[in-house]
Amino acid sequence: MLKLTKKADYGLMALKYLAEHPEMPALSAKDIADAYGIPAQLLAKILQQLTKSGLLRSHAGMNGGYALAREAREVSAFEVILAIDGPFFITSCTKGKTGCELTPSCTIREPLARVNDTIAGVLKSISIQDLAEHEHPPGHAREASALVELTL
């Protein structure tokens, strides 16, 4: 449970890849898919979603492809996941238009909503660039540490 979809995974990988190759004006879906061994067609769809969400810029035609619309530093993992999987909520019914159909039940929700916010905060604090700079052989932990507060 509590896992993000492969699409989101792929999306993050793709953005990371783009961040690692800033010299390229554009990379095609196939390039990225091949680099990671993921189905090209699927990646294509994901990249399309990211484009529609404004995280990527696409360029059709030969030597076309995708490029980051913003600096890698300015794109958070949260945005990516949001663009691909839509708004996420820990709980099944969290304030959907219908609220919780279960009787006066959902007293659970309120505390969990805080947890939800916390997670969102963590994901917002992580940028694509952070993912790309994975070159820290376990030992000297990088200090981009983020402090997150949770108030029940």
Partner DNA sequence: GAATACCCGACTTCTTCGGTCCGAGTTCAG
Partner DNA sequence: CTGAACTCGGACCGAAGAAGTCGGGTATTC
> How far lies 150's CA from each of 32, 78, 85, 114, 123, in Å?
37, 18, 24, 7, 14
Q: Are 50 and 80 in contact (CB under 8 A)?
A: yes
Q: How far is the CB of 143 from DNA (least distance, A)?
A: 32
Q: How far is the CB of 62 from its own copies (least distance, A)?
A: 27
Does position 62 bind DNA by CB under 7 A?
yes
> Which residues have C-beta within 8 Å of that of residue 16, sequence separation ≥ 6?
128, 131, 132
The partner in contact with residue 41, picked from DNA, its own copies, none with C-beta cut-offs of 5 to 8 angstroms by kind, is DNA
Among 22, 39, 54, 96, binds DNA (CB under 7 A): 39
Closest to its own copies by CB, 71 vs 110, is 110
